[in-house]
Amino acid sequence: MEDKIHSQDKQDARDVILDLNFVPQWARKPPGENHYSRKDFDERPRREERPRREGRRDDRERSGRPRRDDRPRRESREPAKELPISVSFLPEQKRLASLVRQIHHSRRAYPLMDLANLLIHDEEGYLVKIEVNKDAPDFYLYQCKKCKSVAASEELIEQHILSSHLEDLYEKEEVETEPPAGNFPGVARCTKTGTLLGPPNHHSYNDKVAEVHAAHFSNMSLEDYKRFVETVKDEALVEQWREESRKQTVYRLKSDPEAEAVDLKKAELEFKKELPSMIEKTHRAIVPSKIARVLDDRDVTFAIKRVWSKESRFPLTLSFSMRAAFRHMHLHLFKAGKINFVTHIKPHPIKPQDTVPNIAEVLMFLKENPGSTRQQLLEVLHPSLDPKSPEAKEALKPISWLVERGHLIEFFNGTLSVPIGRQRR
């Protein structure tokens, strides 16, 4: 796996720089952004769903403004469903490869949990693994093979593919036609976007309503969306609609530029024939973090959000995955003070009496003063030396030799410690 990662990402991962200058866990500031903080997935009741407080007068005048009850109500949404799925996190390969290179280069030991924190707060630092629980064998996930988006229903993933990947097969073109003929007393308009939808008696009206609904309001039913459609009797708006209707969007197969251009409805009908080959029905899906944050299935997104909220405070599942990956990539893990560390140099204890005097002196000092820095060691063992002098650099050379061979551990913050072998029972 190590060779594969190093060869595959040799060029790309050079641009991936992750800051390994950690601060203590307790000193971390709360993350500035929740990757899954979209309001669509808030499990609390929305404002219009909460009970109204008693004692408010609804009959008082409000400077001529319409009463709130007369305004269109926002959609009341059902809370997210509990799905029989488990969510965990994996390190993203390029980010992991970058970490490994920096660990190799620095020759230092880093806290495993801090490395996991680094990735979980990187928007592209992890993958989301979604698995169906073993006690729900009849439940399936549906994954888009193109972008790895996932949903708990086949209908939702089909809608996603139609809206997101139609233009992978079709070239979209704008053409001008003759304006619609006929007498139209009024024109329908979306009160949310201001889009003119056409006269309700025109053959294009229903298609236009469905198009605007799918593009902007797919989180509500079509019938609920129609509450935001008004009919305006205004000749100027009718003429504006006629002029806008001259511009039509047509679709042409990219694989056959000479093919006849068709409208959206016909393009979707043809595209639907390809859907079965673009969907994977599975009990296990791995989703890139960027895709996981914009899933069309709010129930799956809610499940991810809930686990990510815990993981962002204590990245347990991600650290387990990283531990296994590090071992596979021949890095070494050890525990010090109940904290797991990772390094590419295997700790190798050595007895001071088995070394030359200047090395034995360093080992004895650090054994008695664990957590000291090079500067502190120099101040105690060679107080007369200028820290910037060649003599000081020469005096510190044994430390580099000891670190390279695992006889000393240099931690991420520059502190040094002597590895202690396990006591045989």
Q: What is the mean pLDDT of residues 165-187?
A: 88
Q: Report how far residue 341's alpha carbon sits from residue 107's, in angstroms, rounded to the nearest whole number.
A: 12
Q: What is the mean pLDDT of residues 64-90?
A: 69
User: Which tokens go with 413?
Assistant: 């913050």
pLDDT on residue 179: 87
pLDDT on residue 292: 95
Contact 278, 165 (CB under 8 A): yes
Q: Render pLDDT for 312-363 as a digit per residue (tens, 0 to 9).
A: 999 999 999 999 999 999 999 998 888 999 999 999 998 888 888 888 988 9
pLDDT on residue 127: 97
Contact 318, 91 (CB under 8 A): yes
Q: Render pLDDT for 372-417 as a digit per residue (tens, 0 to 9).
A: 999 998 899 888 888 888 988 888 888 999 999 999 999 999 999 9
- In the three-class reduction of DSSP (H, G, I as helix; E, B as strand; rest coil), residue 101 is classed as helix
Judging by DSSP bridges, how do beta strands 332-336 and 284-288 pair with one another? unpaired
> How far is residue 373 from each of residues 13, 103, 396, measured CA to CA in Å?
31, 19, 11
End-to-end CA distance of the chain, in Å?
36
**Bigger pLDDT: 249 or 140?**
140
pLDDT on residue 249: 84
**Bigger pLDDT: 383 or 44?**
383
Question: Residue 377: which of 419, 336, 418 has the closest Cα?
Answer: 418
Q: Is the pLDDT of residue 255 over 90?
A: no
Contact 229, 197 (CB under 8 A): yes
Q: Is the pTM of this model over 0.85?
A: no
* Rg of the chain taking only CA atoms, in angstroms: 32
Which H or E run includes 197? strand 196-198
Q: Report how far residue 33's alpha carbon sits from residue 165's, in angstroms, rounded to the nearest whole number.
A: 29
pLDDT on residue 94: 95
Contact 142, 151 (CB under 8 A): yes
Q: Report how far residue 104's alpha carbon sits from residue 99's, in angstroms, rounded to the nearest whole number.
A: 9
Q: Which domains does the chain have, with CATH numbers?
A: 1-28+75-139+283-344 (no CATH), 168-272 (no CATH), 346-417 (1.10.10)
Q: Is the pLDDT of residue 187 over 90?
A: yes
pLDDT on residue 421: 65
Q: Report how far residue 259's alpha carbon sits from residue 118's, in angstroms, rounded to the nearest whole number.
A: 51
Q: Report how far residue 308's alpha carbon sits from residue 289's, in angstroms, rounded to the nearest whole number.
A: 11
Q: Is the pLDDT of residue 71 over 80?
A: no
